[in-house]
Structure 1
Amino acid sequence: MTERSAAGNALTDAVLPVFELNGELLAAARDISEPAGLTPAWWQVLGATLDEPLTVSDIARRVGLGLARQSVQRTADLLVAKGWAAYGTNPHHRRAKLLSPTDAGRATLLLLRDTQHAWADAVGAEVGAEELRSFVDTARRIAEASRAYRAGQLSRPVGTAAPSGPG
Structure 2
Amino acid sequence: MPGRTPEGDALTALVLPVFALNGELLEAAAVITAPHKLTPARWQVLGAVLEEPLPVAKIARRVGLTRQSVQRVANDVVAQDWAHWQPNPGRRGQNLLVLTGKGRRAITALTAEQHAWADTVGQEIGEKNLKTLGTLISRLTDASRRYRQAAGEEPSP
Query: Do they superpose with TM above 0.5?
Result: yes
How far did 1:79 drift? 0.7
SS at 1:61 equivalent: helix
Report the equivalent of 1:135.
133
Could you list the per-position Cα deviations for residues 84-126 of structure 1 after superposition, in whole angstroms to 9, with x for gaps in the alignment? Answer: 1111222223322221111111000111222111111110001
1:32 is aligned to 2:32: yes
How far apart, in 1, do the equivalents of 2:145 and 2:88 lie? 33
Q: How does 1:55-70 map to 2 (within 5 A)?
A: 55-63=55-63, 65=64, 67-70=65-68
Q: Which residue of 2 aligns with 1:22?
A: 22
CA distance in 1, matches of 2:68, 2:143: 28
Name the CA distance, whole Å, in 1 between partners of 2:10 and 2:74. Answer: 40
Q: Which structure shows the bigger proportion of residues in helix conformation?
A: 2
Q: 1:111-156 CA deviation, whole Å, 9 max, x = no partner? A: 1222111111110001111111111122222222222222338xxx
TM-score where L is the length of structure 1: 0.83
In the alignment, which residue of structure 2 is the partner of 1:159?
A: none
Deviation (angstroms), 1:54: 1.3
Question: Given the alignment of the two structures, is residue 75 of structure 1 paired with residue 95 of structure 2, yes or no?
Answer: no
State the 1:37 CA deviation: 0.6
Which region of structure 1 is more displaced relative to structure 2, 14-23 or 142-151? 142-151
Identity in percent: 52
Tell me the TM-score normalised to structure 2 length: 0.88
Which structure would you say has the larger Rg? 1
